[in-house]
Amino acid sequence: MKEEIKASWEVTDMGELKKIIGIEISHTRNNVTISQQCYIKSILEHEHLTDCNHVSMPMDPKVKILPNPEGNEGSRSNYFAQLLGELQFLANAT
């Protein structure tokens, strides 16, 4: 495939791909793995969550979530909304 590309365009072969647009890429004989570990670490550092304890279920499943009694939409520019946006980008990007 490289040779076909070289036949049509001027290219520079920089070796095996390790990172592209912030996504780390690792190769083994049987698979390719992508990761955004650096981006995850930067989110944790920015949000001061580097020392938090991970859990498999972050919310008690017995808690009942009730509708918003005031019916308002609330603020979408708060800390939690920003964090959700960062995590959504992470999930979509990889």
Full-model pTM: 0.58
Tens digit of each residue's pLDDT (9 = 90 or more) over 39-93:
889 998 988 888 888 777 777 888 888 887 777 777 767 788 888 888 898 888 7
Tens digit of each residue's pLDDT (9 = 90 or more) over 15-46:
888 988 888 999 999 999 999 988 889 998 98
Residue 33 lies in a domain: yes
Look at residue 65 in the predicted model and tell me its pLDDT: 83
Look at residue 30 in the predicted model and tell me its pLDDT: 94
How many whole angstroms separate alpha carbon 7 and alpha carbon 81?
Answer: 49
Residue 63 lies in a domain: no
The strand order across the sheet containing 32-35 reads: 19-20, 23-27, 32-35
Residue 57 lies in a domain: no
- The residue segments making up the domain with residue 40 are 2-52+75-93
Residue 13 lies in a domain: yes
Look at residue 26 in the predicted model and tell me its pLDDT: 93
Residue 41 lies in a domain: yes
Residue 8 lies in a domain: yes
How many whole angstroms separate alpha carbon 39 and alpha carbon 90?
Answer: 8
Look at residue 73 in the predicted model and tell me its pLDDT: 74
